[in-house]
A and B are shown apart, each in its own frame.
Chain A
Amino acid sequence: MGAVTETLLLALVVVTALAFDFTNGFHDTGNAMATSIATRALKPRTAVALSAVLNLVGAFLSLAVAATIAKGIVDAGVITLPVVLAGLVGGIVWNLITWLFGIPSSSSHALVGGMVGAVLAAVGTSGVLWSGVIAKVLVPALIAPVVAIAVAGLGTWLVARLTRGVPQDVTNRGFRWGQIGSASLVSLAHGTNDAQKSMGIILLALIAGGAVPADSNVPFWVILSCALAMALGTYLGGWRVIRTLGKGLVEIDTRQGMAAETSSAAVILLSSHFGFSLSTTHVATGSVLGSGVGMPGAKVRWSVAGRMFVAWMVTLPAAGLVGALCHWLESAIGGSAGTIAVFALLVVVSAAIWLVSRRKPVDHTNVNEAWDEEKGASVEAVAATTGEAGGERVGPVPALATASSVGPAVGAVGTLGTPSNHARSNRKVDA
């Protein structure tokens, strides 16, 4: 009986780790590709496909990261498979919630938060190294955007100065390529870094479950499945997050996009080189903000940035709460039933979040619509606070895409200003 439980637990941990890997790719596509999509340097689907391929390649490039989860943040001795499972569920759920609201937040912080919560529930405060939490999670979350804003701001300002008087079609053409190149580097870096987190978790689970010897290398099927899970997630594209990063913070042109992506790539690579790891998401968001700060005349929507910042600060406790709840549930029920219950909970919650997201889908057809601060920020705010306020602006939507994505609310393209009879969504076609 014990062996069956162990095997089941091991299998569920592996599946959940792959699911986390998937949400990681899904959630972080925007870090690399949001600006290229917003400036139309790449078509939305081309961008996510390119990013997916580069994430896939990146996952195979380097296997230097040791199999450590939340090293220096929780006591390694207390990490057991049930804790890992609960922590993973915490990370996934928080990733999905932030995705629903279109908030770019760090996937690794969500994972660490889930782990911390699960450890707290399992052994109490003694299992958590609080100084590690502050030094490795909270402080970098404050510093990353500041550094990125400075770098991207200076870069954008220099670029704006140097290209003054150069015809716009020339700069557009040149910077398009620069932007694609630098965004690709960010994607590749993401693949090399983040896929390995899931690989490390799975390897640890396999060792703990006795499936491979303790000194084993990462088995090939683990590398392959992690790489594929992340690439698939990336390809599906977290369009909500992409939209916020590309359109919500700053209206960017190709020069800003190139400066922002180069800043992201440089800060991410340099910070890991100097052993001061910063979250890809925080750096990418800061770079986009910086490209607005440095561009003369550009407007930065600080209210959107402020909401993001709050979400970053909440990530650790929120994911931790989910992780802790999962661990309590797991141990209250106990055995296989407890493990299955937590897994079932994850499936139900994920499905629920997905269903809510379908009420106002964001996909490759409408990711670049004009940003309306009143309504564009989140799904829930629209429904809850403003029932009627000017109507959301929907750009000309190709008729083909209308049927599947935007739904019946936009009845026919070209019926200018006709209020839809869909009470909830209240869309108008603003051609």
Chain B
Amino acid sequence: MNVIEWGALGQVLVAGLIVGAGIPALFALGLRLLAGTTSPEAPGATTPAGSADGGSSRVIAITRPSPARIAGAIACMGVVVGAIAFGLVFLVSGGH
């Protein structure tokens, strides 16, 4: 009897590292792309939604992330959301 199924274990480890560590990393990258252009000192500086509120007279050093950054962030978050959706489909289909 094979006590440890090394093949299956290896697959779990490799896929786990790619997915389990990759998703948080993409999430972090996405956040960074969105937040990167706000100066750290600006109070309440957040996502573009926060920085674009109403264009009030309050002038603080917040610049909108460039379109390229936003696109990158959307791509990152898209992968994350896709992975979650895939996980859900996997559960529902009874693959466990």
Contact = CB atoms under 8 A, between A and B. Distances in A.
Q: Do A and B bind each other?
A: yes
B12 A269 contact: no
B23 to A, nearest CB: 5
Contacts of A143: 4, 9
B32 A166 contact: yes
Contacts of A270: 11-12, 15-16, 19-20
A182 B73 CA distance: 19
A65 B96 CA distance: 8
Given A155-B24, A262-B23, A276-B5, 9 more contacts: A64-B94, A64-B96, A147-B16, A166-B32, A167-B38, A255-B28, A267-B12, A271-B16, A274-B8
Interface of B: 1-5, 8-9, 11-13, 15-17, 19-25, 27-29, 31-32, 35-36, 38, 40, 45-47, 80, 84, 87-88, 90-96
A185 B25 contact: no
A169 B46 contact: yes
Contacts of B21: 151-152, 154-155, 158, 259, 263
A276 B46 contact: no
Interface stretch (A101-109, A131-139, A299-307, A338-346): A131-139
Contacts of A77: none
Contacts of A155: 20-25
B94 A185 contact: no
A192 interface: yes
A171 B27 CA distance: 10
Interface residues of A, number: 56
Contacts of B19: 266, 270
Interface stretch (A32-40, A55-63, A113-121, A326-334): A55-63
A185 B88 contact: yes
Contacts of A246: none
A173 B46 contact: yes
Contact of B8 (A61, A171, A276): A276
B41 to A, nearest CB: 9
Contact of B45 (A63, A170, A192, A265): A170
B93 A62 contact: yes
A272 B25 contact: no
Contacts of A154: 17, 21
A415 to B, nearest CB: 37
A192 B96 contact: yes
Contacts of B20: 151-152, 155, 262-263, 265-267, 270
